[in-house]
């Protein structure tokens, strides 16, 4: 562990918050640049982020395995085209061991506050149960989707049955022969619904908005493919490149919703083909343009509604009693268990993950982002020197691998750290006009995309319809634009008087 302790205040050059894909990628690249003076602060007891938390039945990735992995830590023996959560979790563990990252991790260290000291050009991070930590650079790798969204249902306090959220699945609770209500039809729900339907006595699927679900490539990699991936880096990279460019081609219908509507006809046919009852099929067809919300992939979801023990309920939930769920039409359904498949809080402020972040002039990031979060390439935010983020505003994706974006961001952050060191300054901050121009450009690019004009309410947007989460175009453009930091976009602050000293000046 590289943290030094002086008068109980610990100090480090770089503090990474979060040990998911982002935090670990950042750590590996720091090590490759010979920067060892960093810590990874993780509130849980292990690495893994999303893939540690989401272990519900059927949990899997909707990006191809060879794309949803780090380019500098390839895995040649992915079992199938789209990996299950457990295999991704194992991969993350394996990468952690391979790069010996555990020694840099401080588990059970939930950051509760981050405050910038303008005089000393340092961040102080506070924790629930530990002494504070000072860091020259802070990197938010705390994840875009993390805090469960729990809808308030009238009478929930009276309900005596079992209740849990998909990301907090209680594996001790046996669902066999239980009567279960599942709320939501998002990414997680469409994965666990077909799995639990096989075991439960009765499953009620409560749908507010239908989801566009298209076929999933379930093919396994043959032993020969795995052998070739292992033997030939070129072969593996060609495979990855093919996946990358086929994913990139999906931008075309995103920016031209007319083209998306052709694909939508096929997706509608897929529903009608898979669901026997025409009325149920009709209820499962969304009323917005495909792509407006994340397009999901499954071959198992729709056929679940052919089962006798599964009912699709589209009436609104009114309240819960001690053993039943009651809909607005007055119908009462007895249940043993209620599962929230309701996703995660994506309120703009949740980019903060429930902690206060105080920058220059004591301004709070939560307040700055009150209406809409904005930053520069999702990485740097004006008024918050030396604070960098992974998967920040407008850098999530609807069409390709987020790992590609994370790697571009990590590369950019490394350059910023190097620039501060090279210029013998102590901090850097993006110029306000540069950030504003960037955001105007992004919002212009978003106009006309399926996300803005598709007629849905999605977590990508604020209540007034501003898309704060998605990168509006090809990811290669993001890579190109962030490949090299333009130092003139930034101001450099302070003077580093220490000679050859690796730790931050106190």
Ligand X SMILES: Cc1cc2nc3c(=O)[nH]c(=O)nc-3n(C[C@H](O)[C@H](O)[C@H](O)COP(=O)(O)OP(=O)(O)OC[C@H]3O[C@@H](n4cnc5c(N)ncnc54)[C@H](O)[C@@H]3O)c2cc1C
Query: What are the residues binding ligand X (CB under 6 A)?
Result: 17-23, 41-44, 49-50, 54, 61-63, 110-111, 141-146, 187-188, 344, 353, 355, 390-391, 401-402
DSSP code string of 136-166: EEEEE---SS-SB-----TTGGG--SEEEEG
Q: Euclidean distance between the first and final Cα of the chain, in Å?
A: 19
H-helix or E-strand containing 127? Answer: strand 122-127
* Closer Cβ to ligand X, 295 or 402, answer by number: 402
Min separation Cβ 358 and ligand X, Å: 15
Classify strands 133-140 and 122-127 as parallel, antiparallel or unpaired: antiparallel
Please count the CA atoms within 13 angstroms of the CA of 226 that sit on its side-chain side.
11
- Alpha carbons 327 and 316: distance in angstroms, whole number: 6
* Closer Cβ to ligand X, 15 or 450, answer by number: 15
426-to-181, 240, 422, 478, 487 alpha-carbon distances in Å: 55, 39, 10, 27, 15
* Closer Cβ to ligand X, 23 or 393, answer by number: 23
Min separation Cβ 314 and ligand X, Å: 24
H-helix or E-strand containing 274? Answer: helix 257-274
- Alpha carbons 19 and 142: distance in angstroms, whole number: 8
Q: What is the Cα 11 distance to its own chain's centre?
A: 29
Min separation Cβ 184 and ligand X, Å: 12
Classify strands 9-17 and 4-6 as parallel, antiparallel or unpaired: antiparallel
Dihedral angle over CA of 81, 142, 389, 471, nearest 10: 40
Sheet holding 179-183, edge to edge: 162-165, 337-340, 179-183, 202-206, 310-313
Nearest alpha-carbon partner for 244 in 480, 28, 474: 474
* Closer Cβ to ligand X, 141 or 335, answer by number: 141
* Closer Cβ to ligand X, 215 or 448, answer by number: 215
Min separation Cβ 418 and ligand X, Å: 22
**Token code pair at residue 139:** 């990197």
Nearest alpha-carbon partner for 408 in 22, 19, 35: 22
* Closer Cβ to ligand X, 114 or 335, answer by number: 114
Min separation Cβ 403 and ligand X, Å: 7
Min separation Cβ 31 and ligand X, Å: 17
Min separation Cβ 27 and ligand X, Å: 11
* Closer Cβ to ligand X, 61 or 292, answer by number: 61
145-159 per-residue burial string, b: 16 or more CB within 10 A, e: under 16: bbebbeeebeeeeeb
**Token code pair at residue 3:** 């943290």
**Residue 430, strand partner residues:** 490
* Closer Cβ to ligand X, 133 or 275, answer by number: 133
* Closer Cβ to ligand X, 179 or 461, answer by number: 461
Q: What is the largest CA-CA distance in the chain?
A: 75
* Closer Cβ to ligand X, 56 or 490, answer by number: 56
* Closer Cβ to ligand X, 17 or 175, answer by number: 17
């Amino acid at each position: 562990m590289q943290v030094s302790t002086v008068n109980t205040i610990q100090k480090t050059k770089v503090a990474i918050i979060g040990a998911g894909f982002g935090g670990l990628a950042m750590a590996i690249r720091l090590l490759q640049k010979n920067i060892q003076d960093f810590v990874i602060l993780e509130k849980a007891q292990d690495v893994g982020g999303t893939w540690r938390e989401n272990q519900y039945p059927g949990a899997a990735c909707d990006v191809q395995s060879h794309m949803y992995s780090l380019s500098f830590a390839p895995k040649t023996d992915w079992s199938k085209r789209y990996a299950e959560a457990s295999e991704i979790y194992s991969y993350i563990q394996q990468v952690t061991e391979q790069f010996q990252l555990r020694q840099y991790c401080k588990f059970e260290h939930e950051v509760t506050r981050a405050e910038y000291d303008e005089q000393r050009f340092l961040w102080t991070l506070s924790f629930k149960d530990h002494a504070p930590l000072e860091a020259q650079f802070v990197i938010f790798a705390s994840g875009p989707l993390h805090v469960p969204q729990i809808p308030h249902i009238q009478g929930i306090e009276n309900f005596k049955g079992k209740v849990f959220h998909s990301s907090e699945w209680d594996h001790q609770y046996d669902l066999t022969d239980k009567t279960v209500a599942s709320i939501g039809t998002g990414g997680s729900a469409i994965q666990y619904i077909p799995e639990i339907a096989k075991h439960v006595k009765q499953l009620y699927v409560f749908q507010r908005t239908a989801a566009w679900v298209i076929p999933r490539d379930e093919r396994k990699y043959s032993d020969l493919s795995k052998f070739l991936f292992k033997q030939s880096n070129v072969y593996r990279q060609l495979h990855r490149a093919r996946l990358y460019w086929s994913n990139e081609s999906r931008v075309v219908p995103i920016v031209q919703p007319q083209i998306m509507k052709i694909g939508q006809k096929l997706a509608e046919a897929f529903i009608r083909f898979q669901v026997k009852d025409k009325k149920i099929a009709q209820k499962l067809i969304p009323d917005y343009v495909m792509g407006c919300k994340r397009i999901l992939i499954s071959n198992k979801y729709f056929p679940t509604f052919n089962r006798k023990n599964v009912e699709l309920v589209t009436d609104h939930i009114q309240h819960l009693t001690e053993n039943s769920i009651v809909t607005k039409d007055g119908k009462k359904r007895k249940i043993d268990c209620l599962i929230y498949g309701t996703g995660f809080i994506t309120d703009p402020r949740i980019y903060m993950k429930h902690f206060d972040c105080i920058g220059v002039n004591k301004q709070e990031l939560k307040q700055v982002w009150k209406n809409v979060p904005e930053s520069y390439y999702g990485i740097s935010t004006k008024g918050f020197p030396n604070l960098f983020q992974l998967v920040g505003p407008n850098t999530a994706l609807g069409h390709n691998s987020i790992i590609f974006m994370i790697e571009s961001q990590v590369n950019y952050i490394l350059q910023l750290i190097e620039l501060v060191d090279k210029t013998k300054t102590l901090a850097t901050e993006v110029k306000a006009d540069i950030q504003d121009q960037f955001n105007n450009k992004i919002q212009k690019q978003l106009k006309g995309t399926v996300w803005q004009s598709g007629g849905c309410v999605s977590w990508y947007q604020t209540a007034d319809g501003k898309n704060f989460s998605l990168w509006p175009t090809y990811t290669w453009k993001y890579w190109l634009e962030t490949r090299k930091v333009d130092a003139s976009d930034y101001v450099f602050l302070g003077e580093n008087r220490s000679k050859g000293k690796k730790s931050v000046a106190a």
